[in-house]
Structure 1
Amino acid sequence: MSGRQRKTSVIIVSLTLLLLAAIIMAHNSLAVLQNNREEQLKKLLKVARLADLYYVEEVNWEEAVEGAITGMLEKLDPHSVYIPPEKVKENKESFAGKYEGIGIQFDIINGYLTVIAPIPGSPSDQLGIRSGDRIIKINGESAIGLTSDEVISRLKGPRGTAVRVTIQRPGVSEPLEFTIVRDVIPISTITAHFMVDDSTGYLAINRFAAITAREVEEKLAELEAQGMKRLLLDLRGNSGGYLHEAVKVAGKFIPGHKLIVYTRGRDGRIDEEYYADQFPRKVVRSYPLIVLIDRGSASASEIVAGAIQDHDRGLIVGENSFGKGLVQKEFSLQDGSAVRITTARYYTPSGR
């Protein structure tokens, strides 16, 4: 064997030994990590058993476990949270963009359930419920002194079911009785849209739900029919929502196959990239665009603003946004509750 061959053999053997050492170290590190996790879980289980055996009163395990889960997630980051079953249902309605009920906006004023406004086209609107009406009874029981949550639980219900309300109307001496048949009520994600002047439109989005891209398309078409030639897109106070809806909205203003946002997780399993033309779109707007943001603009709002800024598609005006930069995924649990866990970081096209 020549000197060069011996040298090559030594290098190969050395590299092989280094690779084996790396594999062994990685295996050992993984084993240590797994052992540590198992030890911590055993510790938690032991505390639960001790509480079950020795706590002075009967343990409310539902509250105890919820508290343990909440505490654990709080140690991860502020956005990983436990969601009780009733809140899961409420969130689903909010992000689905609809709920089933009678269709009123209300407030509790001096203990009275007061109608702020009926939602246009809702069962309440069709029956003639008015702003300023006080609902004093629901299904024959007093509604005076109810909390907002109690009101919601009484007025919401499956489509097609009925609820009886007794109303005290200003200027009318006798109470009015209404039987309202519940229906599907849309929850708009558009706070306002109007023409500022002959050529400037204004559109405010309050969150990114399942219906947002469709609503934005409808409102843009309305404004364009009124002569809009430039747009103020208001994302102030918009705390975010569905990432794919943000991509759809950004794609209405950014042409071609341009990157809108990409995500990076811990181990690459959920790394994704989203492009302007990834979802079907009717038209791509090219008119001047100004996006308004503030410290309450987060998550999906920052994705839209970031993409528009990075592609030099519009001007961003306002304050620094929230700066969340994280993606959460919701996992359902067997009792109807859920946990929302941060699974990735997202980045604007320029890598910010």
Structure 2
Amino acid sequence: MSMWKQAGLLCAGVLGGVLITLQFSALAEKETRTSLPVEELRTFAEVFNAIKKGYVEPVGDKALITHAISGMLSNLDPHSTYLDADAFKDLQVGTQGEFGGIGIEVGMEDGLVKVVSPIEDTPADRAGVKPGDLIFKIDDTLVKGLTLTEAVKRMRGKPQSQIRLSILRKGESKPIEVALTREVIKVQSVKSKRLDDGYGYLRVTSFQENTGAAVVKHLQDLAKPGPMKGLVLDLRNDPGGLLNSAVGVSAAFLPPDSLITSTDGRAPDAKHEFHASPADYLRGSRDDYIKRLPAEARTVPMVVLVNGGSASASEIVAGALQDYKRAIVMGTTSFGKGSVQTVLPLPGNTAIKLTTARYFTPLGRSIQAKGISPDIVVEETSNGGSRQRLREANLDHHLENNTQPATEAAKPEVPAKPSGKAPLPAQPKPDEAKDSDQDEGDETAELPNRELASKKDYQLTQALNLLKGMQIIRSKP
């Protein structure tokens, strides 16, 4: 049993309160099947039989098979995993932006639950849980020995029920005890604020089913007082979400039919291009929210803020706007999750989440394990400090970066002449700045405030300064 337990513990990168980039797919039965490895399956059967006969305690067939499936998937990469009935249900509910729990994104490290990021305005966030915290005990249960799925189950529960987390934190000599009250987590994925000097601030915290429509609504509100001088799109600590929502948000700022991203994998249906068109950003909805877009959304000067917590769908948006030179990307290098997960339903209301492709930007750049390098590197604090973050390249079994799609057919093409699509610029030079996600400054320096568009937010201040400088240059005769 222990060998299956160990295999299960290798699962990393699972979300305990937010989403990762998904595509729900009902794949047709393939006409041809790959041949099964008879010798290896015979070995598996012998191990299965040995456990059934000789393990110190009785183990059910279903449990053994489930652990075997979990181990098979979790050893592929950090994002392929087995979803039991509860996890599958949570995943489906989560895409709609509402779920129960305490509101944290988590992974696994050395057998402990590692906090990747707390979700804004949730019990975990308000209690001061921080990225990098290691949870070693949930109530009276030690995390060591649990799979990540089992640990997440223990952290979830009925609203208003109590939970205690025992945490190890870098720089603290003693464990930290945190008492939380669970609640229904309703993630407001889009927030905005019109600043006094005529600049707009738009924050996207995750990509859900309604995120694209919400972005358009907030852009309408930002434009009501009059034309904006500039816009800051804040994608920091946005862990991603639904692919079609990322395409929709990108479509709000780019010309119709522009290539947003492409995917490339081994299976024919894993090779696809996604454009700023209703067929790619609407999923079963006839309401084309892009038609309500304020005209200035595609021309207003823009800065996109990213950091090591910007992952997956948020990297798709930042990469597309950067490739078309529609916006200046500022901050620190993003997380680097450039892989596509397909959810395949199984009998018994279970499923597997399988990595099936890699994402590429319009210029064919792979995001995987590399991330989006900002055009202008700006640390989180004025003294050059940024909090140390877990990134894709730090995860066990992470996919390597492929700099080009595997086939020419999947490689995005530069339009030969204008036809409603934005012309793609020349390939930008690689960012030569050093990795800026290491904490080289004062660890006690004040990091970005939770207040929306806070004046204490150093990166936001620098983004506004850049936009104001651009405004001055444009206004000169």
Gaps of 5+ in 2: 1-31, 104-119, 127-138, 142-151, 161-183, 282-287, 366-477
1:55-66 map, 5 Å? 55-66=55-66
What is residue 354 of structure 2 aligned with on the other side? 341
- Indicate if the aligned counterparts of 2:102 and 2:155 stay in contact, CA closer than 8 A: no
How far, CA to CA, are the matches of 2:249 and 2:63 in structure 1? 41
Aligned position for 1:308: 321
SS at 2:270's partner residue?
Answer: coil
Q: CA offset at residue 293 of structure 1?
A: 0.6
Whichever residue aligns with residue 243 of structure 1, its letter is L
Q: Deviations along 1:111-150, whole A, 9 cap, x unmatched?
A: xxxxx999xxxxxxxxxxxx9xxxxxxxxxxxxx899978
Amino acid at match of 1:266: R
Is the 8 Å Cα contact of residues 261 and 275 (structure 1) preserved in structure 2? yes
1:344–1:104: structure 2 CA closer, same or farther, 3 Å change rule?
closer
Residue identity in the other structure for 1:313: R
Contact 1:231 1:287 in 2 (8 A): yes
> In the superposition, relative to structure 1, how do residues 38 and 214 fare at CA in structure 2: closer, same or farther (>3 Å)?
farther
- Size of the aligned set, in residue pairs, is 260
What is the identity, as a one-letter code, of the residue corresponding to 1:275?
H
Q: Is the 8 A contact 2:247 2:260 kept in 1?
A: yes
Query: 1:194 is matched with which residue?
Result: 193
- Specify the code of the residue in structure 2 equivalent to 1:293: V
**Which residue in 1 is equivalent to 2:463?**
none
Which of the two has higher C-alpha Rg?
1
Give the Cα–Cα distance (whole angstroms) in 1 for the partners of residues 241 and 121 of structure 2: 26
Higher relative contact order by CA 8 Å / sep ≥ 6: 1 or 2? 2
Amino acid at match of 1:219: H
Q: Describe the superposition over 1:286-315 as per-residue Cα deviations: whole angstroms up to 9, x where unpaired.
A: 211111111111111111011101111011
Aligned equivalents of 1:242 and 1:218: distance in 2? 19
Is residue 247 of structure 2 the alignment partner of residue 253 of structure 1? no
Structure 1 counterpart of 2:242:
242
Is 1:79 equivalent to 2:72 in the alignment?
no
In the TM superposition, 1:1-352 aligns within 5 A as 34-35=35-36, 37-98=37-98, 153-155=157-159, 187-190=187-190, 192-227=191-226, 228-278=228-278, 279=281, 280=288, 281-282=290-291, 283=293, 285=297, 286-352=299-365
Identity %: 38
- CA distance in 1: counterparts of 2:198 and 2:140, whole angstroms: 47
Cα displacement (A) at 1:93: 2.0
Q: CA deviation at 1:267?
A: 3.6
Q: Secondary structure at the match of 1:50?
A: helix
User: Residues 94 and 187 of structure 1 are in contact (CA less than 8 Å); yes or no, is this contact kept in structure 2?
Assistant: no
Per the TM alignment, residue 323 of structure 1 is displaced from its structure 2 partner at its CA by: 1.6
Distance 1:275 1:59, change over 3 A: same
Which is helix-richer, 1 or 2? 1
Alpha-carbon distance in structure 1 between the residues aligned to 2:69 and 2:153:
24
| 8 A contact 2:102–2:185 mirrored in 1 | no
1:218-270 deviation line (CA, Å, top 9, x unaligned): 11111111333421111111111111110000000001321111111114332
1:327 CA drift (Å):
0.5
CA distance in 1, matches of 2:194, 2:61: 56
**CA–CA distance in 1 between the matches of 2:245 and 2:159?**
30
Aligned 8 A contact 1:104 1:117 in 2? no
Q: Distance in 2 between matches of 1:151 and 1:81?
A: 19
Which residue of 1 is the match for residue 391 of structure 2?
none
> TM-score when scaled to structure 2?
0.49
TM-score by length of 1: 0.65
The change in CA–CA distance for 1:315 and 1:70 in structure 2 (over 3 A counts) is: same
Unpaired segments ≥5 residues, structure 1: 1-29, 106-115, 119-130, 132-144, 157-183
Deviation >6 Å, runs of 4+: 145-151
- Could you tell me which amino acid in structure 2 is paired with residue 154 of structure 1? K
Which amino acid is 1:234 matched to?
A: D
What is the CA-CA distance between 1:49 and the residue it aligns to? 2.2
| Structure 2: distance between partners of 1:71 and 1:60 | 17
Amino acid at match of 2:254: I
Map Cα deviations across residues 137-191 of structure 1 (whole Å, 9 max, x no partner). xxxxxxxx899978964349xxxxxxxxxxxxxxxxxxxxxxxxxxx9853212x
Kindly tell me: are residues 231 and 334 of structure 1, through their superposed partners in 2, closer, same or farther at Cα, counting changes over 3 Å? same
Q: Secondary structure at the match of 1:269?
A: helix
In 2, Cα distance between equivalents of 1:38 and 1:263: 33
Question: Is the CA contact (8 Å cut-off) linking 2:234 and 2:306 kept in structure 1?
Answer: yes
